[in-house]
Structure 1
């Protein structure tokens, strides 16, 4: 898999790639009245729809991105991997920012995924007031050093899925039906603990407000990924 990514990086088109720890180390968050977070510990049952990792690439078109994904190494998931390809970009025009990659810090990284809903699947624009508050919160978190990346995703009607069977790819066009488990956007935080992530989530101006549903998963460090090879 590293060789596969290295080939794309050599072409200058590989921006980022990270693995997420399994859902048994994850959390789900929704909010009660007064923005009080309700935290549910993993593991989560619907394994088929959970995200295991992500890559961000530059491609001239969706067709080019899918062509790259179709070359995915057959060793991953014993040739049964399923990969969803989505254009980056907030429908309201909020800028993506940052780099989720590991640095010299020993602090763990957490990915906060905003789960999709019927409204986000319409490429809903929350308007300048909410977008302005989000932009300010992103700026403040980035300047403070703990919010290291954030990206919006287009709705699944712009997406494709590449499903492998014994290493052979088959491509499916969006939109997709299982809205509850899809992701509308994500942030990556470099903080000391899950408690810090929950504290951030309590005050962040999510476009869905108190109706936001989040999944929080730790990212693997390079040391952890390479440990089996030692």
Structure 2
């Protein structure tokens, strides 16, 4: 099963404050453990939403908005893509993760759709 592990943004990450050397070292070690276990497929940090764009769709209309975007806690500051046997394994790994931000933070785990999830829709 593949999961997307989303590191939620904080006021500091949205302000562009870079992680400390200690945090970068700890996260590098954690990423090394993930790679050694064969779980890590991809992982990156994202620039603050001020450097981003959003495109809203309504039929054929496209509306572009420039960042920054509101609701910091709903934004994503970084992600991993993992291959795990089940959600429990993903949860076990997230619990081992160093706190990805200097203060309180949150990580969300979401399973990816696989082709087998669409088997019923494609059979009709």
Does the TM-score normalized on the shorter chain lie above 0.5? yes
1:225 shift after superposition: 3.5
Q: CA separation in 1, counterparts of 2:120 and 2:43?
A: 28
Corresponding position of 2:77: 184
Are 2:58 and 1:129 aligned? no
1:179 shift after superposition: 1.1
Summarize the Cα distance change of 1:111–1:228 in structure 2 as closer, same or farther, 3 Å threshold: same
Summarize the Cα distance change of 1:151–1:225 in structure 2 as closer, same or farther, 3 Å threshold: farther
Corresponding position of 2:52: 159
Unpaired runs of 5+ residues, structure 1, are 1-107
Summarize the Cα distance change of 1:157–1:212 in structure 2 as closer, same or farther, 3 Å threshold: same
Corresponding position of 1:194: 87
1:180 shift after superposition: 1.6
1:224 shift after superposition: 2.0
Which of residues 21, 40, 53 is equivalent to 1:147? 40
Summarize the Cα distance change of 1:189–1:210 in structure 2 as closer, same or farther, 3 Å threshold: farther
Q: Is the 8 A contact 2:10 2:105 kept in 1?
A: no
User: 1 or 2 for the larger relative contact order (CA 8 Å, sep ≥6)?
Assistant: 2
1:207 shift after superposition: 2.5
Per-residue displacement from partner, 1:109-165 (whole Å, max 9, x unpaired)?
111111111111011211211101111211221121012211111100000111112
Q: CA separation in 2, counterparts of 1:155 and 1:164?
A: 23
Q: Is the 8 A contact 2:45 2:79 kept in 1?
A: yes
* Residues paired across the two proteins, number: 123
TM-score, L = length of structure 2: 0.89
1:223 shift after superposition: 2.6
Q: CA separation in 1, counterparts of 2:40 and 2:99?
A: 15
Q: Equivalent residue of 2:23, what SS?
A: helix
Q: CA separation in 2, counterparts of 1:211 and 1:178?
A: 16
1:206 shift after superposition: 3.1
1:211 shift after superposition: 1.9
Let me know the Cα RMSD of the aligned residues. 1.6
Q: Is the 8 A contact 2:19 2:102 kept in 1?
A: no
